[in-house]
Chain A
Amino acid sequence: MKTSPAPREGLSVQDRKFLAVAAKANEDQIRLCRFAEKKAKSPAVKDFARKMVADHTAVAGEIAGLEHTRAHEHAKALPHAWRAHVHLAQHAHPRHHPRTAKAGHPPGNDEISKLRGKSGADFDRAFMQLQVDFYARTVEKLDGEAKSAGSEK
C-alpha cells in the first residue's frame, strides 16, 4: 500500500494491528464475494456470495465504529486544543485512510486471481472450497484471540 494510514489515537499498537488485519481480511472477502456473485453459475452459490457481501459490509462498519469510538473516548480526556488535532487527524484526509484508499489496492486479490480462469460448476466448486478454508482459518484465529483474554496486558 502506497498511502500512510491516518493516525488513530486512543488505540494501542496491538489493537491497531488487530483492526488493520481484520479490516484487510474483511475487505478481501467483500471483493472476492462481489466477484463470485457475478461469476457463479449456481443460484445457491450466488446467494451465498450475496449474503457474505452484506454480512461483511456490516462487519466493516463495526470495525470502523471500534476505531472511531475508541479514538473519540480518548479525545474526551485530552485538553481542548488537542481534541481539535485528533479530530482533524481522523477526518481531514479520508482518502489516506487505508480502508478508503483505492490507489494502493490491486483490482483483485490472490483468490480472485486463482478463480479468473475457471467458469461454471468448476468456478463454483473452487470458490466454495476457498470459502470453507477461509472461514475455518478465520474462526480458528478468532477463537485463539478470545481464549487469550486476560493473558496479554
Chain B
Amino acid sequence: MSAGSEKMRDFATQAAGAFQKHLDLAKTVSAKADKP
C-alpha cells in the first residue's frame, strides 16, 4: 500500500489515529475475553 498524493497521506494519517483507538479498545476487550 502506498499513498502518493498529499491528500491521500492526510487520509492515512487520520485513519492511523482512528485505528490506534480501535487497537487500544480491541486490546481492552481482548483482555476481558481472555478471562474465564
Residues of A in contact with B (beta carbons under 8 Å apart): 12-15, 17-19, 21-22, 42, 44-45, 48, 51-52, 55, 59, 62, 66, 70, 121, 124-125, 128-129, 131-132, 135-136, 138-139, 141-143, 145-146, 148-149, 152
Query: Which residue of A has the minimal Cβ distance to B35?
Result: A121
Give the distance to chain A from B9, nearest Cβ to Cβ, in Å: 5
Tell me how many residue pairs across A and B have CB atoms closer than 8 Å. Answer: 102
Given A45-B29, A128-B29, A145 contacting B2 (CB threshold 8 A): yes
Q: Are A55 and B26 in contact (CB under 8 A)?
A: no
* CB-based closest 7 A-B pairs: A14-B4, A135-B23, A142-B16, A128-B30, A145-B12, A146-B13, A131-B26
Q: Is the interface of B mostly helix, strand, loop or mixed?
A: helix
Bound state CA distance, A139 and B21, in angstroms?
Answer: 10
